[in-house]
């Protein structure tokens, strides 16, 4: 059974994670501190950062910033805030979107996405996104990267159950009449690969372009590659079609199967 659809995670998988999201989240935290009249409270700012897995500019691969939803981040913040904030999740969504718009020039691709997606589509494969981010922020990023027309399905956490629930994969399959065995799922975190496992897709592929470590990803992945551009080898074959040929092409690729 051939692969007919690929679901890509967004942050750390098709776009560089640290170039944008640390900057955005630090800005959101500053906005939050200002809103509750705690500007300059470095202790609280540190607590807020730690609550989502951000420490001294480094991202915990298992923290909320790495793979959590906007609601996860809002809930983590609320636990350390000195007061309850009404409609906090909505405020978080709006603040993240606004900060992303202000820093859109920092949204950068991990590789030449247009070229890669063209090659994938030429093989008759449908491309989708499965992200913990919200719909509006996701569309904003895709438009900036110039790939919004390449993406035929947007699975975001405000429209579907959050990963690692299989719901996004199930809806992708339903929309395009695909079987789970015809799907490859690609991401940079353990949550992404757990989604692949829970969904029973054909392949779960880990990429090292985001926050996930090779050791953690290898425990769950069928393949671990440096970036998504390695999904097709020098002979224009997918890695699952020719593992041996792809391995010879790239000394950096690690194949678990």
Same domain, yes or no: 125 and 196 = yes
Question: Chain-centre distance of CA 187, in angstroms?
Answer: 6
Residue 43 CB burial class (10 angstroms; 0-12, 13-18, ≥19): exposed
Cα end-to-end span (Å), the chain: 17
Q: Which of 78, 105, 132 is the last residue of a domain?
A: 105
Same domain, yes or no: 11 and 128 = yes
What the block records as the tokens of 165 is 């629930």
Q: Which of 74, 105, 136 is the last residue of a domain?
A: 105
Q: What is the CATH number of the domain that holds 192?
A: 3.40.50.1000
Same domain, yes or no: 185 and 119 = yes
Same domain, yes or no: 137 and 10 = yes
Same domain, yes or no: 95 and 135 = no
What the block records as the tokens of 12 is 């750390």
Same domain, yes or no: 55 and 165 = no
List the chain pLDDT tens, one digit each, 257 residues.
799 999 999 999 999 999 999 999 999 999 999 999 999 999 999 999 999 999 998 999 999 999 999 999 999 999 999 999 999 999 999 999 999 999 999 999 999 999 999 999 999 999 999 999 999 999 999 999 999 999 999 999 999 999 999 999 999 999 999 999 999 999 999 999 999 999 999 999 999 999 999 999 999 999 999 999 999 988 889 999 866 444 433 444 443 43
Contact 91, 73 (CB under 8 A): no
Same domain, yes or no: 207 and 115 = yes
Same domain, yes or no: 85 and 174 = no
DSSP state of 110: S
Range of the domain at 63: 21-105
Same domain, yes or no: 25 and 78 = yes
Q: What is the spatial distance between Cα 152 and Cα 227, in angstroms, rounded to a whole number?
A: 21
Considering its fold, how many domains does the chain have in total? Answer: 2
Q: Which of 54, 89, 105 is the last residue of a domain?
A: 105
Give the dihedral of Cα atoms 103, 106, 109, 115; nearest 10 deg. 80
Same domain, yes or no: 186 and 246 = yes
Same domain, yes or no: 50 and 176 = no
Same domain, yes or no: 161 and 214 = yes
Residue (of 156, 210, 159) closest to 16 by Cα position? 210
Question: Chain-centre distance of CA 216, in angstroms?
Answer: 16
């Amino acid at each position: 059974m051939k692969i007919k659809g690929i679901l890509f995670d967004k942050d750390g998988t098709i776009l560089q994670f640290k170039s944008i999201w640390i900057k955005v989240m630090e800005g959101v935290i500053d906005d939050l501190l200002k809103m509750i009249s705690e500007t300059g409270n470095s202790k609280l700012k540190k607590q807020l950062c730690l609550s989502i897995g951000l420490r001294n500019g480094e991202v915990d691969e298992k923290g909320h910033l790495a793979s959590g939803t906007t609601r996860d981040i809002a809930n983590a913040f609320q636990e350390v805030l000195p007061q309850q904030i009404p409609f906090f999740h909505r405020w978080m969504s709006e603040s993240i979107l606004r900060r992303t718009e202000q820093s859109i020039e920092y949204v950068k691709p991990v590789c030449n996405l247009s070229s890669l997606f063209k090659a994938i589509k030429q093989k008759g494969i449908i491309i989708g996104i499965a992200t913990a981010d919200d719909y509006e922020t996701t569309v904003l990023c895709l438009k900036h990267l110039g790939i919004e027309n390449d993406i035929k399905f947007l699975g975001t956490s405000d429209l579907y159950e959050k990963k690692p629930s299989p719901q996004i994969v199930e809806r992708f399959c339903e929309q395009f009449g695909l079987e789970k065995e015809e799907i490859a799922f690609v991401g940079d975190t353990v949550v992404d690969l757990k989604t692949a496992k829970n969904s029973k897709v054909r392949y779960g592929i880990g990429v090292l372009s985001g926050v996930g470590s090779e050791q953690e990803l290898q425990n769950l992945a069928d393949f671990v590659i440096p970036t998504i551009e390695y999904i097709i080898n020098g002979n224009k074959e997918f890695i699952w079609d020719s593992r041996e040929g792809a391995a010879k092409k790239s000394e950096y690729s690690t194949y678990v199967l």
